[in-house]
Amino acid sequence: MKTLISTRGRKKILKEILSNPGKAYGVRELATAVGVSPGAVSIFLRALEKDGIIKKGMPDLSNPEVRALKVLFNVETVRAIYGKLVKKFKIGGMGIYGSWAKGENTEESDLDVWIRVRKEPPPLETAEIRRIVKGGAGVANASILFVTPESLRGMREKDSVFYSTLFHSLVIGGEGIA
């Protein structure tokens, strides 16, 4: 397990495979996609197969270790987005929930994000935030929930199940849901 992300090349390979869990890569195709030699890719794929990380060339998402690795890469991706947003907008915190937080996201999954704000941002700012989130995560769809102290109070009272989902989400940066 220690050697999984021991080099930049291995990290690129693993991230590519985990980002596209429904795709079975050939050695040359994967080598080209990540810019690593076919020999290195071949050796690493055999090691991943041996460790049960991949089966038949695809990540084994039934394996909790694989999902944990996927969550790690998801957090890394969204943390970079958070860094961009916090520099440009007044946000108090950000987190993810849903498939991205569980490591179950596929190429078709949308990214479920909550963003803490003092007040709901204007439409142009909302559109820019959505563009940054979608572009940074490489997703076609992003569900962005802006949460204010008032909306959280209302949610806690009227939709406690969804509030609990947000409360137990992964906080990427800043203030969490409380």
- Assign 3-state DSSP to the chain and report helix, strand, coil percentages, each to 5: 55, 15, 30
CATH 1.10.10 range(s) for the chain read 2-60
The predicted pLDDT at position 89 comes to 96
With beta carbons less than 8 A apart as the criterion, state whether 97 and 67 touch.
no
Say whether pTM exceeds 0.75. Answer: yes
How much is the pLDDT for 178? 79
- The closest of 139, 154, 129, 119 to 20, measured between CA atoms, is 139
Amino acid at 21: P
- CATH 3.30.460.10 in the chain is located at 76-174
Q: Average pLDDT, whole number, for the chain? A: 93
Give the integer Cα–Cα distance in Å for 79 and 65. Answer: 21
CATH superfamily of 76-174: Beta Polymerase, domain 2 (3.30.460.10)
Query: Residue 53: pLDDT band by 50, 70, 90 thresholds?
Result: very high
Average pLDDT over residues 7-35: 93
**Which CATH entry fits the domain spanning 2-60: 1.10.260, 1.20.1280, 1.10.150, 1.10.10?**
1.10.10
| Residue 56: pLDDT over 90 | no
Measure the CA–CA gap between 133 and 111, rounded to whole angstroms. 8
Of the ranges 54-58, 69-73, 77-81, 133-137, which one carries the lowest mean pLDDT score?
Answer: 54-58
Q: What is the pLDDT of residues 129-176, one digit of tens each?
A: 999 999 999 999 999 999 999 999 999 999 999 999 999 999 999 999
Q: Tokens for 157, please give them.
A: 């009272």
